[in-house]
Structure 1
Amino acid sequence: MEHCNKLLYGGMLSLSALAGCTEPVTEKPLNIVYIMTDDHTAQMMSCYDKRYMETPNLDRIANDGVRFTNSFVANSLSGPSRACMITGKHSCENKFYDNSTCVFDASQQTFPRLLQKAGYQTALIGKWHLESLPTGFTYWEIVPGQGDYYNPDFITQTNDTIQKHGYITNLITDDALDWMENKRDKEKPFCLLIHHKAIHRNWMADTCNLALYEDKEFALPDNFFDDYNGREAAAAQEMSIVKDMDMIYDLKMLRPDKESRLKSLYESFIGRMDEGQRAAWDAFYGPVIDDFYQKNPQGKDLANWKFQRYMRDYMKTVKSLDDNVGRVLDYLEENGLLDNTLVVYTSDQGFYMGEHGWFDKRFMYEESMRTPLIMRLPKGFDRKGDITEMVQNIDYAPTFLELAGVKVPDDIQGVSLLPLLKGEKPAGWRRSLYYHFYEYPAEHMVKRHYGVRTDRYKLIHFYNDIDAWELYDLEKDPAEMHNVINDPAYSEVLADMQAELKKLQILYNDTDFVK
């Protein structure tokens, strides 16, 4: 079995080698299709949570492959999360800390660069959100910044900015399918990153989906009216559905005689629509606006109304995403690519769907630190069902590299998931995860913090303009409502968690914060 370790096809690991050399070495190198969305939380995927909506095409990936049940990010914010993913390193090492002040150093080592050197065609289509232009890609076409839902601009490799007509989720998928069909060398393996704007705020659905889910009523989360007792940083945020969700920008209640902080930004968004798109938009939202201002709900009635509108608009945006994932899966199947392709779906982080009364992300609390991760595996990988080990978005880069037979550089901080995909139970798998959020002061005013999470406990330190520690027993308190940092019954746990935190800070070279 010594020959199982040899690299084939010019440095790429063959499928037969990965499968244990039970078949002759005749298979082609594996392709990678990596689909990533923005702010898509596991609560809104029916393969994770059946309370709210059906996502049949995402479920196809999970049902035909694996679902990670303990998948997390290292920094719950769009740009930093993407930098962690593409480098396989924490923010302290890739130096992209936040969306406000950072520009990604595109000359640094990334997994697309390494795959490209190994003979892979690499492509990125959609959201980049790292301020610099992409490098390491054979082909790329990206939206500036967050992008626009309707008739968006795209930046091309020739550094031209062009406007395309249509809805962004459809357009990104169109370009991805066109690249696979017409622009790649079909004799070479490829890694395609399809990165969507959806489901980012302000949740503008495609016109064909505007009327969906209007008959649905959603129960408020049990902690929707959280009072944040014992959690100073949680009390200081500005991401409350009740207090901070903008009536016009977020909830589309535009009327000439009404004002809001973000009204002009919303008007610029709908100003991109053509006549037909705007007519469909107004035909749907017009009656909703009239009904809202006529009834003029207040207090808890208003809070519930805002929650219902938020949930529906979010779900409508997910619907288009799910449909377009189906288009990609269908293309791969119809063109005989599924058996030789790893299909990955994830988000750049989780999101709050009313838990703690919030929307957005940023905190190390579960709903935003967790991220969905599902994979449809190539032929020869027998693993199906749930993978329960703790994984993090710094693990994607080494996974893709090892899958392609490319040596994983020693400075990559993530761990390849390939053993898990092959059904192995590696001894000594990580027992804890490190997290660090840096963007403060900024939108939503979430304090800077870092921390450690194990399978049962979570320790967080909020710092900068605050010095507050929080400890949670996730088994007894999964909603993270009770900070037990001062509970004597947890003194030994606290000492253990402090030691684990220090160990990870040294391991990941975030030593400025070692206590």
Structure 2
Amino acid sequence: MSDEHNHSVAGYYGNTVIQTPNIDALAKQGITFDTHYCNSPLCAPSRLSLTAGKYVSHVDAWGLTSQLPDPEIASLPRVLNAAGYKSFLCGKQHYDYNRRYGFTEVGGDFNNWYQTGLGRRRPPTYLEQKQLSPRFQGFHPGNRGSTVEHDRRVTAGAVEFLSQDHASDEPFFLFVGYLAPHFPLVVPEDYWRRYEGKVENPKIPDGFLDRLPLNYKVQRAGFEEIGVPDDVVRKGRELYYGLANWADNEIGKVLAALRAHPEIAENTVIIYSSDHGENMGEHSMWWKNCMYEQSSRVPLVISWPERWKGGQRRQGASSHVDLVQTVVDIAGAHAPDDWNGDSMTRWMDHDKTAWKDFAVSEYYAHNTASGYVMCRAGDWKYVYHTVIDKDHPAEHELYNLAADPGEFTNLAADPKHQARLKSMHARLLKEVAGDPDETEQRSRRQLSQGYNRTDPRPGNSVTDNEG
């Protein structure tokens, strides 16, 4: 699993500029999912949802400072361990320093956050920034970027693990957590040079920014990303391409270490995905945190030639809770009854098998005035922005992605689409089994209270409120 990989910046998703040869090769040997979503477009909530097999609103995983409500929760690694596997983690999962949820960590200590549970909303009037974010000053080539240095250690740990003799051991589940292509956008110069002058800047329709939902206007000010100069946008996008290319190269080293042991490799399912996307300046937004395709939609490739013919694609909408169910199903384990999602194995076995074609993503984290929830069904995407206060009611977004892949024309107020909007809203509420407005109020209470921790903060712990 990479971090912050925009699904469109990959050769296997049709991008002819980016070089991702290793995952392209994996896609040729597996099944590529064309409409796959994270369950929250932010690191910690997305990874906690993946760990728990549940939507973030079902485990109160609101933001970067969150942890799962029970350290002994029936997690994905614990479910696999109960079925005879041994689960290992090498790299980022954004876990608290004293929680691994059933994983045995290898390769080093990559998860040393001190999760406070604290957070807050921005007021709806927070629409101006005092400065441009310092993050944009950090766009440059280099060999010592924190992302690159982190991931070199991840690769070394994963390669070392796979170099061991696993042939006679119990089956293993290895989760390799990369940080790239997450900012800071610093990558070795030769990777940047490959894309210098080759990545076009986003095209923003006139008047579009005035029509943004209020939450996204607040978010742009909160992340101090209003008015990024065109040359900085271009440089950032080029560097991002370089980081995606660099990450693919690191993943290739891990795959090569696995294939050096063919007796293991032929019986190993390989899965590639990301915890969320990256806006890359599209819609004049950066990082993630929103429900546009660049942020909430993620790559997914599943490869096991022993069972599935390579080069296949699946079009229907799916999400990470479905992926978790699929992993458990492949392993012959049994998911708890209260998990969300559905296994995709029958759909993978037979492409004509009926699939629900429905995915949900939620965001109740920082730098926004209220939480919001998205669902995708067929060509349509619906986003519900919860009530901010008595003066700022709920907002709605509705897009036909077949006709409007850029998500520039919000049809939510069009009388012709009211039946569809109401139908998708009802299906969304049924899927998350709750009212997002009530969830928003619960998240506000919990974020204001935090966890009231009494354990001392370790010297090497990290508190990350920006992500």
Q: Same fold (TM over 0.5)?
A: yes
| CA shift in 2, pair 1:317/1:431, >3 Å | closer
1:417: which partner in 2?
A: 344
Please state whether the residue corresponding to 1:400 is helix, strand or coil: helix
1:138 aligns with 2:138: no
| CA shift in 2, pair 1:447/1:209, >3 Å | farther
Match of 1:98 among 52, 63, 67: 63
Is the 1:226–1:357 Cα contact (8 Å) retained in structure 2?
Answer: no
Letter in 2 for 1:194: V
1:361: which partner in 2?
A: 288
Aligned mates of 1:438, 1:502 — CA distance in 2: 16
* Alpha-carbon shift at residue 102 of structure 1 (Å): 4.6
Alignment root-mean-square deviation, CA: 3.0
1:86 aligns with 2:51: yes
Aligned mates of 2:16, 2:53 — CA distance in 1: 33
1:498: which partner in 2?
A: 425
Aligned mates of 1:99, 1:500 — CA distance in 2: 28
Letter in 1 for 2:208: D
1:219: which partner in 2?
A: 200
Letter in 1 for 2:234: Q
| CA shift in 2, pair 1:426/1:94, >3 Å | farther
What is the correspondence of 1:23-422 to structure 2 with a 5 Å cutoff? Answer: 36-102=1-67, 105-131=70-96, 132-140=98-106, 141-144=108-111, 150=144, 167-182=149-164, 186-205=168-187, 207=188, 209=190, 212-213=193-194, 215-223=196-204, 227-233=208-214, 236-239=217-220, 244=225, 303-336=229-262, 337-382=264-309, 384-422=311-349
* Alpha-carbon shift at residue 386 of structure 1 (Å): 0.7
Please state whether the residue corresponding to 2:272 is helix, strand or coil: strand
| CA shift in 2, pair 1:365/1:226, >3 Å | farther
Deviations along 1:68-102, one digit per CA (max 9) or x if unpaired, are 00101121111111111122110122221211455
Letter in 2 for 1:322: D
1:450: which partner in 2?
A: 373
- Structure 1 residue ranges, 4+ long, deviating more than 6 angstroms after superposition: 508-511
| CA shift in 2, pair 1:409/1:243, >3 Å | closer
* Alpha-carbon shift at residue 509 of structure 1 (Å): 8.3
Is the 2:373–2:385 Cα contact (8 Å) retained in structure 1?
Answer: yes
* Alpha-carbon shift at residue 47 of structure 1 (Å): 1.1
* Alpha-carbon shift at residue 425 of structure 1 (Å): 3.4
Please state whether the residue corresponding to 2:183 is helix, strand or coil: coil
Deviations along 1:256-312, one digit per CA (max 9) or x if unpaired, are xxxxxxxxxxxxxxxxxxxxxxxxxxxxxxxxxxxxxxxxxxx8xx72201121012
Is the 1:383–1:422 Cα contact (8 Å) retained in structure 2?
Answer: no
Letter in 1 for 2:169: E
Letter in 2 for 1:75: S
Letter in 1 for 2:203: D
Please state whether the residue corresponding to 2:307 is helix, strand or coil: coil
Is the 1:41–1:349 Cα contact (8 Å) retained in structure 2?
Answer: yes
Number of aligned residue pairs: give it. 405
Is the 1:169–1:320 Cα contact (8 Å) retained in structure 2?
Answer: no
Deviates more, 1:470-479 or 1:107-116: 470-479
Letter in 2 for 1:220: N
| CA shift in 2, pair 1:431/1:327, >3 Å | closer
Aligned mates of 1:195, 1:420 — CA distance in 2: 27
Deviations along 1:117-145, one digit per CA (max 9) or x if unpaired, are 22212110110213252131234444246
Please state whether the residue corresponding to 1:43 is helix, strand or coil: coil
Please state whether the residue corresponding to 1:329 is helix, strand or coil: helix
Larger Rg: 1
Please state whether the residue corresponding to 1:194 is helix, strand or coil: strand
* Alpha-carbon shift at residue 345 of structure 1 (Å): 0.6
Aligned mates of 1:173, 1:458 — CA distance in 2: 37
* Alpha-carbon shift at residue 338 of structure 1 (Å): 2.6
**So what's the TM-score if we normalise by structure 2?**
0.79
Gaps in structure 1 of 5+ consecutive residues: 1-35, 154-165, 246-298
Is the 1:203–1:314 Cα contact (8 Å) retained in structure 2?
Answer: yes
| CA shift in 2, pair 1:212/1:241, >3 Å | farther
Is the 2:162–2:258 Cα contact (8 Å) retained in structure 1?
Answer: no
2:383: which partner in 1?
A: 460
Letter in 2 for 1:231: L
Gaps in structure 2 of 5+ consecutive residues: 114-142, 441-467
* Alpha-carbon shift at residue 438 of structure 1 (Å): 0.1
Deviations along 1:322-343, one digit per CA (max 9) or x if unpaired, are 1111112222222103321111
Aligned mates of 2:408, 2:146 — CA distance in 1: 41
| CA shift in 2, pair 1:88/1:226, >3 Å | farther
1:480 aligns with 2:407: yes
* Alpha-carbon shift at residue 455 of structure 1 (Å): 1.0
Letter in 2 for 1:459: Y
| CA shift in 2, pair 1:498/1:318, >3 Å | closer
Deviations along 1:138-190, one digit per CA (max 9) or x if unpaired, are 344442468xx95979xxxxxxxxxxxx8222221111111122375743211
* Alpha-carbon shift at residue 478 of structure 1 (Å): 1.9
Aligned mates of 1:315, 1:104 — CA distance in 2: 37
| CA shift in 2, pair 1:224/1:357, >3 Å | farther
Is the 1:346–1:373 Cα contact (8 Å) retained in structure 2?
Answer: yes
Aligned mates of 2:164, 2:283 — CA distance in 1: 47
Aligned mates of 1:45, 1:240 — CA distance in 2: 30
Deviations along 1:316-372, one digit per CA (max 9) or x if unpaired, are 222221111111222222210332111111000111122112211111222211100
| CA shift in 2, pair 1:483/1:234, >3 Å | farther
